[in-house]
Amino acid sequence: MEEKTILVIEDNEMNMKLMRAVLQVGQYRMLEAFDAETGLRLVKEQRPDLVLMDIQLPSMDGLSATRIIKADPELCDIPVFALSGFAMESDKEKANDVGFAGYIVKPISVKALLETLADHFGSSPAKNP
């Protein structure tokens, strides 16, 4: 199976460090952005296979950034998963309305994240994360 590239847009260094470790276990190539503007530039330049987008970002939030991705005919097919500390149904509904492919609640479960990615890409999750 070819290596999949995942762009993580996350402003918290500890969360980014965790994502690096998890995606390495899952054998994914990772791109990093600490704000939405950098993330949008990387989406256009690198065309990742999937984006993990924090909802609460400095300057532009993840909902707004995802609207921009989904409005662009050249980028709209890239799946974007929300990363959020908010687990209320209304938050998940807002994310669905924007066009997120899924909703991952923080704190992130390593096993659940790897399973979500494996399900999305149609592969087996990494063993013993």
Residue 66 confidence (pLDDT): 97
Mean pLDDT, contiguous 10-residue spans, the chain (129 residues): 91 96 95 98 98 95 96 97 84 86 91 94 66
The residues that bridge with 51 in the sheet, in sequence order, are: 7, 80
Q: What predicted TM-score, i.e. pTM, was given to this entire model?
A: 0.92
Cβ(66)–Cβ(100) below 8 Å: yes
Q: Which domains does the chain have, with CATH numbers?
A: 5-121 (3.40.50.2300)
Query: What was the pLDDT predicted at 86?
Result: 77
Q: Please give the pLDDT value at position 18.
A: 95
Distant-in-sequence contacts of 92-100, Cβ < 8 A, 24+ apart: 94/63, 95/55, 95/63, 98/63, 98/66, 98/67, 98/70, 99/66, 99/67, 99/70, 100/53, 100/66
Say what the pLDDT of residue 125 is. Answer: 67
